[in-house]
Chains A and B, each alone.
Chain A
């Protein structure tokens, strides 16, 4: 099945730096969502961007969506140790289910 796919990255950054991760998908979407998963926990919804939106902010998170390139990026500004987690993009193709990528692991070093 088609699904969002993150760039296969494991990011290791210093606290205070920015972290950027990307996601690509294959066909038209209704919306794209980003989730965070801390070790041993379930996924937690972070932010949703609709297909007619290009950029969205939520606190230190900034999401962009380029429907012409079928890609999205998630930027975490001024990272903190508590941001250490895996980040997943999920695409909603309008069939009432989400397709998840394999995730990007981010480690923020204090």
Chain B
């Protein structure tokens, strides 16, 4: 398996633009997580899906953020409109719930810079 695949790896955009980050989890994994990492706040859980259904989105900062998982092999995180404070590395991770006690496999991350 190629692991968790995220795209784009780097994104530079201007304030106000829409940003879409993409994730392909590991085949067979039924849980998917979006995290955001910054120096100040560390690794924050934004949203978590189980069997394609959003279970907990309490970490989503505000209405500008939305996430979808239309099928078991694809998820998106969208920011509209983007702001400079959204600059961070966004990680997608997947796991097989009930198997290895929720051990996460992370993607390489998408580094977002909002100017």
Contact = CB atoms under 8 A, between A and B. Distances in A.
Contact of B42 (A45, A96, A102): A102
Interface string B22-43: 0000000001010100000011
A102 B105 CA distance: 18
Interface string A19-50: 00000000000110101000001111100101
Q: What band does the interface of chain B fall in when counting residues whose beta carbon is under 8 Å from A?
A: 20 to 34
Contacts of A101: 42
A99 B59 CA distance: 12
B50 interface: yes
B100 A96 contact: no
* Chain B CB within 10 A, most for which of A45, A88, A92, A99: A45
B38 to A, nearest CB: 10
Interface residues of A, number: 23
Contact of B103 (A33, A41, A102): A33
Interface string B1-45: 000100000000000000000000000000101010000001101
Given A50-B101, A97-B56, A44 B106 contact: yes
Given A30-B101, A31-B101, A42-B91, A99 B107 contact: no
A45 B104 contact: yes
Contacts of B59: 1
B91 to A, nearest CB: 6
B101 A45 contact: no
B43 A96 contact: no
B10 to A, nearest CB: 10
15 contacts: A1-B59, A33-B103, A41-B108, A41-B109, A42-B91, A42-B93, A42-B106, A43-B93, A44-B106, A45-B103, A45-B105, A97-B102, A98-B104, A100-B42, A103-B43
